[in-house]
Amino acid sequence: MKFNRRGENVRNEEDKEELIEFITQDDGIEYIIVDEIETKRGHYVYLVNVQDETDICVKKLNGEEIYPLENDKEFEYCMYIFAKKNKGKIENLLKEEGRY
């Protein structure tokens, strides 16, 4: 499936400007790119629907095409890499909520 990628500068909580990137799929649904990883298996993005924050997905990018993951094993691999990359952020969030 083809997609369109765009960036938008916004102010974060510390009042610093940062770039937020979006992907719009052919079906018109727009997602915020929450995180992105490059691995030996491919280039992956963690996406959240702009209109529905409960609609999340992980997709594989290849050039100008976006693909669903092939199976549960690929999903588990991606979630492991995303969690490992963001371990400190996850721990801080859990501490803030009193769960860590």
Residues 6 or more apart whose Cβ sits within 8 Å of residue 61: 42, 43, 44, 45, 67
Q: Tell me, what amino acid is at 98?
A: G
Q: Provide the 3-class DSSP secondary structure of residue 99.
A: coil
Q: Which domain holds residue 10?
A: 3-96
Residues 6 or more apart whose Cβ sits within 8 Å of residue 36: 43, 44, 45, 46
Average pLDDT over residues 17-29: 82
How many domains is the chain partitioned into structurally? Answer: 1
Express each pLDDT in 24-67 by its tens digit. 887 888 999 999 999 999 999 999 999 998 999 999 998 888 89
CB atoms within 10 A of CB 42: 15
As to burial, measured by CB atoms within 10 angstroms (0-12 exposed, 13-18 middle, 19+ buried), residue 98 is exposed
